[in-house]
Amino acid sequence: MAPKFSIPTAPGAMPVLLPFRMRGPAADPFGTLRFLAAIPWRWLLAMVALWPAIAFAQSGVAAEGAYRILMRWIPFLFTQGFLFNVVISVLAMALGTLVGAFAGLGLIARNRMLRGAVQVYVSFFRNAPWLVLLFIILLAFPFEIRAFGTTIPLPGWIKTVIGLALPVSANVAEVVRGAVQSVPTAQWEASESLAFSRRQTVWQIILPQCVKRMLPPWMNWYAIVTMSTPLCSLLGVGEIISLTRQAMEAEGNSPELLIPFYGFVLLLFLLYCYPIALLTQRLERRFAVKL
């Protein structure tokens, strides 16, 4: 973009550089899934069909040998690895949604102290790096809890669920707040004219209308959490990335297996998140607020 100058008419005055005007689309909260959903399904099928040949050709190892090695490990990597990633994402999203829903209601509370405390919580965890939070949770939480003579273990995957749920809850809180504030004020005024209390208005009138508004961004965040679960491998959790490394070490840790094995991991996440992206895009168009 070329700079623009303002040429003053006064004698001896110097030209003034005007501020830049940034032109372009506004920030898209669904950018991650929009990009994924923009991939034509025919391209996706072609990728699935051509992926083994491309990966083996780039690896430099015989396709038959690499394919045989990968096929031997696919059931183990899928059932013991990828499905565990899905379980972690579901639990983290469920916990984050539960906490985030109450935090979102706290952001619109009339009590100023409560609203301020929740705002600090939301602002902190929305801007905190996820990997740093995971390490803090791993090191700060004990490995077991003893209560009433009973020892309750806290394995790494439970700490991972808590670590992922914290930033998710902060972002879900903003989703809830935005959905509630998007409801026309006439709904609030009508409920007050009918002698509804604020609690009745929120739970019986406002929140039922917010569900369809919150669903697309909620699904977007679930896809983001799912794609973030490989971070658990840095904490020693036995998910798909950790098991993939173990499988390659069991096969001699040959560098020629990097592309086939990690390509298979990439393919699993793509096949899982792509339908979510398409569904999110469809729901967004269906539930778009008509102004």
> Average pLDDT of 134-146?
84
Judge whether 159 lies within some domain.
yes
Q: What does the alpha-carbon distance between residue 33 and residue 220 come to, in Å, rounded to a whole number? A: 6
Pairing of strands 144-147, 150-153: antiparallel
Would you say residue 257 has pLDDT above 90? no
Q: How many C-beta neighbours within 10 Å does residue 202 have?
A: 18
pLDDT score for 43: 61
* Average pLDDT of the chain to the nearest whole number: 79
| pLDDT greater at residue 283 or residue 132 | 132
Span 146-179, pLDDT tens digits: 877 788 888 888 889 999 999 999 999 999 998 8
Grade residue 33 by pLDDT with cuts at 50, 70 and 90: low
Grade residue 93 by pLDDT with cuts at 50, 70 and 90: very high
Span 75-90, pLDDT tens digits: 899 988 899 999 999 9
pLDDT score for 49: 54
pLDDT score for 35: 58
Number of domains in the chain: 1
Q: What does the alpha-carbon distance between residue 55 and residue 264 come to, in Å, rounded to a whole number? A: 9
Judge whether 1 lies within some domain.
no
Grade residue 41 by pLDDT with cuts at 50, 70 and 90: low
Judge whether 15 lies within some domain.
no
pLDDT score for 260: 82
Judge whether 105 lies within some domain.
yes
DSSP string, 148-178: TTEEEE--HHHHHHHHHHHHHHHHHHHHHHH
> Can you list the positions of beta strands (E) in the chain?
5-6, 16-17, 144-147, 150-153
Provide the residue range defining the domain that includes 273.
63-284
pLDDT score for 25: 45
Judge whether 30 lies within some domain.
no
Mean pLDDT lowest among 19-23, 131-135, 143-147, 262-266? 19-23
- Helix axis angle, 130-140 to 156-182, nearest 10°: 130
Would you say residue 255 has pLDDT above 50? yes
Judge whether 182 lies within some domain.
yes
Judge whether 82 lies within some domain.
yes
Judge whether 208 lies within some domain.
yes
Q: Is 150 helix (H, G, I), strand (E, B) or coil?
A: strand
> Average pLDDT of 127-149?
85
The CATH number assigned to the domain holding 219 equals: 1.10.3720.10
